[in-house]
C-alpha cells in the first residue's frame, strides 16, 4: 500500500468512527434494555400460541440468550477490538438482547413449553483458532469483517422474524404479547443492523485485496443461520421459517427471504460481479434448513404455519 492510499484510509477511519460512536451512544441512551416489569404476559389461548409459534419462541429465546456466549467468543476472536465495537457489544447490545431472551423465555414457559436451554459458555475450537491467529493485525481485521457480516445477516433475520411474529400474534388475538413483548423487541433490532452496516462498509473499504479474498472465501464456505451449529438446530430453524411463512415450499419465497438477509453482504462483497444477484450460499443454507425440517415431517414441503416443537 503506498503512503497516499494509507493516508486516505486513515482519514476515512477518523471521519467515520465518531459517526459510529454517536450511533452506539444514541442506541444506549434511547434504547435501554426493556424493563422486565413493563411486560403484560396475558395469554388468551396458550395451547394455540404454543402450537402456532412454539418453534419461534423456542428458537428466538435461545439465540437471544446465547449472546452471552457470543460476547465470550468476541473477546477471543478480537483480542484487541476498537473501543467502539467493545462499547457496542458489551454495554449496549448484550444487555438489550439478554432482556429479549429472558422475556421470550418467560412467554414460552407461560404458553406451556419447555424453558430455553442456551449454550452460554461452550466456545468452539474453530473460533479459538481464529482468535489465536487474530493476534496478527491483518487477520484480526478479517475476523472483524466476518463478525460484522454475521451481525448484518443475523439482525436482518431478527427484524424480519419479529415483524412476522408480531403480525401473527395479532392474528391470533394475543394483543398483550404483541404490544408489550414483540413490539418493543422489534424496535431495538434495526439499530443493531444499522451499526453492523456502518461498521462493515467502513472496514470493507479499508481491507486489502488478500483480506477481501479471504473474507469472500470464508463466507462462502462457512455461512450458516445464527444459532445453527447442529443438525437438530438446523431442523429447528427450518421450523421457524415455516411457522413464519418465510419458507412455504415455494423456492421463490425462500429466495426472496435470502435476498433480504443477504442484501448488504451482496452489495459489499459481490456486486462487482455481473450476474450474481444474491449470495447463493445464503439461499442454499436456508434451503438446507427448510428441507431438514420438511424431511423430519415425512413431507418434502415445509408445512407453513405449523409447528410441533
Ligand atoms: Fe434481539
Ligand atoms: Fe439484535
Question: How far does residue 63's CA lie from ligand 2's centre (Å)?
Answer: 10
Domain layout of the chain by residue ranges? 36-296
User: Which ligand minimizes its atom distance to the CA of 190?
Assistant: 2
For residue 288, give Cα distances in angstroms to 235, 250, 277: 9, 14, 19
Model pTM score: 0.88
The residues placing their C-beta within 5 Å of ligand 1, an ion, are: 64, 97, 100
Question: CA-CA distance, 177 to 57, in Å (whole number)?
Answer: 12
Q: Which grid cell is 119?
A: 449454550
Assess contact for 50 and 113: CB atoms under 8 A: yes
3-class DSSP assignment, residue 5 = helix
Q: Which grid cell is 31?
A: 434504547
Question: How far does residue 19's CA lie from ligand 2's centre (Å)?
Answer: 20
Question: How far does residue 257's CA lie from ligand 1's centre (Å)?
Answer: 19
CB atoms within 10 A of CB 292: 20
* Burial bucket for residue 27 (CB in 10 Å: 0-12, 13-18, 19+): buried
Question: How far does residue 97's CA lie from ligand 2's centre (Å)?
Answer: 6
User: Which ligand minimizes its atom distance to the CA of 60?
Assistant: 1
For the chain, 309 residues long, give each residue's pLDDT as a single digit of tens.
444 544 455 445 555 678 999 999 999 999 999 999 999 999 999 999 999 999 999 999 999 999 999 999 998 888 888 999 999 999 999 999 999 999 999 999 999 999 999 999 888 777 777 777 777 778 889 999 999 999 999 999 999 999 999 999 999 999 999 999 999 999 999 999 999 999 999 999 999 999 999 999 999 988 989 899 899 999 999 999 999 999 888 889 999 999 999 999 998 998 777 555 667 888 889 999 999 988 876 544 443 333 333
pLDDT at 84: 95
The position carrying cell 493485525 is 137
Amino acid at each position: 500500500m503506498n503512503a497516499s492510499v494509507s493516508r486516505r484510509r486513515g482519514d476515512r477511519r477518523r471521519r467515520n468512527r465518531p459517526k459510529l460512536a454517536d450511533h452506539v451512544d444514541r442506541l444506549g441512551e434511547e434504547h435501554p434494555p426493556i424493563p422486565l416489569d413493563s411486560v403484560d404476559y396475558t395469554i388468551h389461548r396458550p395451547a394455540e400460541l404454543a402450537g402456532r409459534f412454539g418453534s419461534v419462541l423456542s428458537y428466538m429465546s435461545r439465540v437471544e440468550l446465547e449472546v452471552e456466549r457470543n460476547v465470550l467468543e468476541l473477546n477471543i476472536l478480537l483480542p484487541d477490538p476498537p473501543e467502539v465495537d467493545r462499547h457496542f457489544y458489551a454495554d449496549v447490545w448484550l444487555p438489550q438482547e439478554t432482556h429479549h431472551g429472558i422475556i421470550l423465555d418467560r412467554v414460552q414457559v407461560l404458553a406451556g413449553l419447555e424453558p430455553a436451554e442456551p449454550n452460554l459458555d461452550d466456545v468452539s475450537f474453530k473460533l479459538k483458532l481464529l482468535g489465536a491467529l487474530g493476534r496478527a493485525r491483518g487477520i484480526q481485521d478479517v475476523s472483524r469483517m466476518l463478525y460484522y457480516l454475521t451481525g448484518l445477516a443475523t439482525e436482518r433475520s431478527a427484524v424480519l422474524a419479529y415483524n412476522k411474529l408480531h403480525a401473527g400474534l395479532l392474528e391470533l388475538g394475543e394483543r398483550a404479547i404483541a404490544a408489550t413483548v414483540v413490539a418493543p423487541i422489534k424496535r431495538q433490532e434495526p439499530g443493531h443492523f444499522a451499526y453492523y452496516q456502518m461498521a462493515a462498509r467502513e472496514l470493507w473499504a479499508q481491507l486489502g485485496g488478500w483480506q477481501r479474498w479471504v473474507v469472500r472465501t470464508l463466507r462462502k464456505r462457512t455461512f450458516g443461520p445464527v444459532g445453527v451449529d447442529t443438525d437438530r438446530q438446523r431442523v429447528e430453524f427450518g421450523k421457524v421459517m415455516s411457522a413464519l411463512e418465510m419458507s412455504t415450499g415455494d423456492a421463490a419465497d425462500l429466495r426472496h427471504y435470502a435476498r433480504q438477509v443477504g442484501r448488504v453482504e451482496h452489495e459489499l462483497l459481490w456486486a462487482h460481479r455481473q450476474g450474481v444477484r444474491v449470495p447463493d450460499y445464503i439461499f442454499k443454507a436456508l434451503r438446507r434448513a427448510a428441507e431438514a425440517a420438511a424431511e423430519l415431517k415425512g413431507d418434502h414441503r415445509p408445512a407453513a404455519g405449523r409447528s410441533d416443537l
